[in-house]
Structures are given as C-alpha cells and as structure tokens.
Chains A and B, each alone.
Chain A
C-alpha cells in the first residue's frame, strides 16, 4: 500500500458516505483517479464493505440486545479452531467471533431483539454444536463506545466563539 491508498482508506473508514468528488478534493487528486483506486481496493478486498454505525438505543421501536458469549470448544483435528469458528460465524445471529487466549477459546457476540431470543439461540444452536464444551453469556447493558466511536458524544457541538483572532 502506498501513502495515497492509505490516506484514501483512512478517509472512507471515517465516512464511507463521502462522494468521490469530495474525496478527490480533500486529497487534491483527480476524480477518475480516486474512482479507479476505490474500485481496485474493493477488488483486492482491502475494502470489504461499507457500513453505518447506528445508535439503536435512539431508535424507539427497535429493541436490541447484545450478548458476549465466552465459548470453550474442542478443536477439530487438522483444522484447529477454524472449523468450529466457521460453524459459529455462519449463524446470522452472530455478529463477531474472535479466537482468544486465556480462560476460554472463542468470544462470540450475538445479537437479538430480546434476551429470550438470544437465550434460545445459545441453548438450542450454539451449545448444541458437538465441539462446544461450555458457554458463559454476558449481556451488554449499555454501550459507551463502539468501534472507536463514542456513542452520545457531545464533542461535535462547536464550543468555540464565532469569530476569534
């Protein structure tokens, strides 16, 4: 990756919604050059997708529950943890899976609209997998910061006086 590519990635990581024309202006480059670069980076899978961070707590009708589940597993011969991890991350309820060092093997983040729904998923699907030995479920009560972004941040309101030297 060269400097231009890294700068571009940093810009769209912060705001994937920015028009190509604006990105080009920010970087002092031609629009076509930036468009091509983005297409190439998408093809190379350096850019994997464009997502939006939504504070669902602000959306009144939408109840969302997230649980972090510590999972102990028996690794499968030949493929270690990867096969078990795959069986877990394929479930649409699962938002993230990490292999961990320490007291358990996989950290699994599960999302649902009620605690009951998550409970059912864990007892009926996750725990039922052959290689899963045990699960410990922690429900998230409140999100303060997610993916480097502080939720309910008030840093955005400009506290400066309107004109200054």
Chain B
C-alpha cells in the first residue's frame, strides 16, 4: 500500500489552505514587502518576555494544571470582567489553551456529534471549516455581502439554520475583512440564535483591536452568556503569536468537556508562556494601548491610500486587515495577488482563500511598519495603473 492510502479520509479530503500555497510562492522571492501576515509586527513587549525568563530562573519548568495556572485563569476572568462586563468563575469556567486555535478545536470537539451542522460566516478565518470537519461535523457557510460591508444579516442566519444546526462560529472583529459588529448589530443575531437554541463560538481574539467604538462581547448580550463559548488569546493584541497561548471561557459543563479532551491530548499550555501572559494581563495595558494606536494610524493610512489607488475599501472597524475590492482591475483575486507578487514583490492574500465570496477582494494586513506600508502602496499603485 502507498503511504497516501493510509491517510484518514477526513484528512485526505481537506483542501490545503490557500494561504499555504501563497506562502510557498512568496517564500521563493526576495525583497518582498509583505501585507500577507496575520500577526503583529511588534515584538512581544519586553516586560512579558522578562517575566517569562524570570519564571524559568525560578524553576517553573514543569506542567501546570490541565486548565492552566489558577492565577492566570483568575487574571483572565478579571480581564473579561473589566473590559467586557462578563463574569466567569476562574475555577471551572475558564481554560487556558495552546493559542485560540486550540480553543476552537477543543470547543468543536466538545460539542459536535456526527451530522451536526456548524455555521461558518464567510469570508472567514481559514481554520473554521476544516476544524468543524475534523470534529466530525458539517460546516455550513453563509456568504456575507460586500454591500453589507460583510456584516452578517439576521435573515441570512435564519435562512442557513436547519434542524441539524448546533452552533455558529462568529468572529468579531473579523479576519479577513476587519468588519466589526457593534452591540446594535449583534443583538438581532442574538435573537435568532436564541430562537433556534444555538450555541455560539465567539472568536474575539481581535476585540482589543477595535478603533472607533466600544467593544461588546457576544457573551455580554442579554441571555447569551450561557450559550456562548468565548474564545480569545494573546497572539494579536498582546503581540504574542509565537508563544501559543489562548483561552476559552464559557458554561462550566462545556469547559469541563474541553478540559477533558485537553488533558488527554495536550496536558497543558506551555508554562513559560503562561507566565508571560500573567505579566501581560497585569502590566500590559499601556503596551496594548500603544500598539492599538499605531494600528489605528496605519489603518487610516492604508485605507485612504487604497481608495486613492482605485481599490475601493471601506474603513474596517477592527483587527489589522483591510479587504479592498480589486474588481476594477478585471483580474481574479488569485491573478491579482500572483501578478502583484511577481511584478512588484508585494505579498497580499487572495480573498477567495477565505470563502467564495472573497473572490474579487484581497486581504492586506497593515501590521507592517509605516515605511514598508508606504512603499507597498507605491508599488501597488504602479501595478494597478498598469492593469487598468
């Protein structure tokens, strides 16, 4: 038998990520300015790093509790309460995970039975549909519309729900569009969710990176806390992608189920990273604020530059992505991204990687120094002028 034939069907059938393919292309080239990265350009603030060193010097090099250090879970509860006015018991309603990525995986594995449908709102973070599939569920996608600024409409949600629908994954602010839903826009969605008795995986990893409005956690909406698994982490707002640290907060029964899987598959999140996160929550406020301000300025910069170039782009409310339309060039997203990379050495991610309604768009991250952004915009302008 060939090795391929041993691969489990579920895995064999998964499409490789479009991001991966594009990474391979970009990695072969030199002097690339990348607007293709989904992570901060800031190095982790020094005090978090220093605290992690210190924990190692003190000998904290062993496993922690499965659900994560209790001090950290306490700080996470405190953070959620102070920032979003949602109260969680750190003892049994919070789990520390290996990135928000693992929290998503655990949540899905904890709740999905074969045949259960989980709604994914596209354009979406690339991991949602595959993790639903790997958990044995059936992903059902909703295509949000550009004319709604890619905001999910309650009617669209209503339409996608079937008797088999168990849960919906919401990402607010959204990767890749940067779309941000405020309280008023979330409430009608919550009403539909309650009516159909659905569970919500609310991925709020970009919550601290919203620019013009007070953030409302989905769990803070009326009667939503008991049906929400709030997922977040330290990667984005705290500039800690490489530390692999995230968390989930939710009803005790569901968190207990997630801890059960976690203890057999992962044991616990990295101890040194948990110590860094402790410092991040205790003394990281100013650093997060400073980075946020800098992203906001760069957002203003890139949005007005893209519009000037003729790539129409709404002003995204959060995260560090813009999702401009490239339809005026007559190219597909894939063609645009590939030719831009070849001709001008600027890497962006084609929008169709995030769902079929992403076709006609590209994702440009502005988590890049102003200097680089500026140069990227010049190159992109030159490129677009040639194509139009």
Contact = CB atoms under 8 A, between A and B. Distances in A.
Interface string A39-75: 0000000000000000000000000000000000000
6 contacts: A25-B301, A28-B300, A160-B39, A162-B37, A163-B23, A165-B38
B34 A160 contact: yes
Interface in A86-126: none
B300 A161 contact: no
Contact of A26 (B23, B39, B368, B370): B370
A164 B17 CA distance: 10
Given A22-B374, A160-B37, 5 more contacts: A7-B297, A15-B370, A28-B304, A163-B27, A164-B39
A7 B293 CA distance: 9
Contacts, number: 65
B10 to A, nearest CB: 20
Most chain-A CB neighbours within 10 Å: which of B298, B300, B349?
B300
A128 interface: no
Contacts of B19: 163-165
A26 B293 CA distance: 10
B41 interface: yes
B266 interface: no
Contacts of A163: 19, 22-23, 26-27, 34, 36-37, 347, 349
B352 to A, nearest CB: 15
A20 to B, nearest CB: 13
B81 to A, nearest CB: 27
Contact of A162 (B34, B41, B300): B34
Given A25-B304, A25-B305, A26-B300, A164 B27 contact: no
Contacts of B305: 25
Nearest to A155: B43
Contact of A165 (B26, B125, B298): B125
Given A163-B347, A165-B17, A165-B127, A26 B34 contact: no
B304 to A, nearest CB: 5
Q: Which 3 A-B pairs have the closest CB atoms?
A: A163-B36, A26-B297, A163-B23
Interface of B: 17, 19, 22-23, 26-27, 32, 34, 36-39, 41, 43, 125-127, 175, 293, 297-298, 300-301, 304-305, 347, 349, 368-370, 372, 374
A163 B37 CA distance: 5
Contacts of A15: 370
Interface of A: 7, 11, 15, 18, 22, 25-28, 155-156, 158, 160-165
B314 to A, nearest CB: 14
A15 B301 CA distance: 15
A7 B43 CA distance: 22
B374 A161 contact: no
A160 B36 CA distance: 10
Q: Which of A7, A22, A25 has the most CB of B within 10 A?
A: A25
Nearest to B302: A25
B23 A164 contact: yes
Given A160-B34, A160-B41, A11 B23 contact: no
A162 B36 contact: yes
Contact of A25 (B22, B293, B300): B300
Q: Indicate the member of A15, A18, A161, A163 with the most B CB atoms within 10 Å.
A: A163
A161 B37 contact: yes
Interface-central residue, A25, A26, A158, A165, by most chain B CB under 10 Å: A165
